[in-house]
Amino acid sequence: MKNLNIHIGEIISDVMKSESITKAELARKLDVKPQSIDYLLKRKSIDTHALYRISGALNYDFAKFFSIETKQTNCDNKIFDFEPKKAKILLEVELNTEDIIKLNLKDRVMQILNK
């Protein structure tokens, strides 16, 4: 296994800068003293529970930097080099009642579920 050259404190600091979140704000979200944030940002590594809490507080998935998955498919690409037999698609769309009726969505969903 290759040696990771990840400095998680620097990555957290970069995310805070990009989101304009101060140390004081992050400290409040994590319910810790601001000095703890100073210490955190100097850390090269961090325990998973703390990383999970920070990910939630900053709404950012820091765990992706530690993923061992080497071959991932970017679904934003128009061309795939494989053809899936099935696909699970989760889509959230907010429609008003008028649009639901106009698109006949209720009947279409019922047709799919009854197959």
CB 58 within 8 A of CB 13: no
- One-letter identity of residue 6: I
Question: What phi, psi does 102 have (nearest 5°)?
Answer: -60, -40
Q: Please report whether residue 77 resides in a domain.
A: no
Q: Please report whether residue 75 resides in a domain.
A: no
List pLDDT tens digits, range 26-67.
999 999 999 999 999 999 888 999 999 999 999 998 888 877
| Maximum average pLDDT range among 1-15, 32-46, 58-72, 91-105 | 32-46
Q: Please report whether residue 57 resides in a domain.
A: yes
Which pLDDT score is estimated for 76? Answer: 54
CB 60 within 8 A of CB 15: yes
Task: Quote the crossing angle between the two packed helices 23-30 and 34-42, to the nearest 10°.
Answer: 110
Q: Please report whether residue 74 resides in a domain.
A: no
For residue 100, what are the CA distances in angstroms to 38, 57, 92, 105? 51, 36, 14, 6
Q: Please report whether residue 85 resides in a domain.
A: no
Q: What single DSSP character describes residue 3? A: P
Which pLDDT score is estimated for 83? Answer: 61
What is the CATH number for 36? 1.10.260.40
Q: Please report whether residue 27 resides in a domain.
A: yes
Does the structure show a pLDDT above 80 at 89? Answer: no
Q: Please report whether residue 50 resides in a domain.
A: yes
Between residues 75 and 7, which one has the greater pLDDT? 7
Q: Which residue range is the domain that position 47 belongs to?
A: 8-66
- How many structural domains comprise the chain? 1
Looking up tokens 């998935």 gives 61
Claim: this prediction has a pTM higher than 0.75:
no
Q: Please report whether residue 100 resides in a domain.
A: no
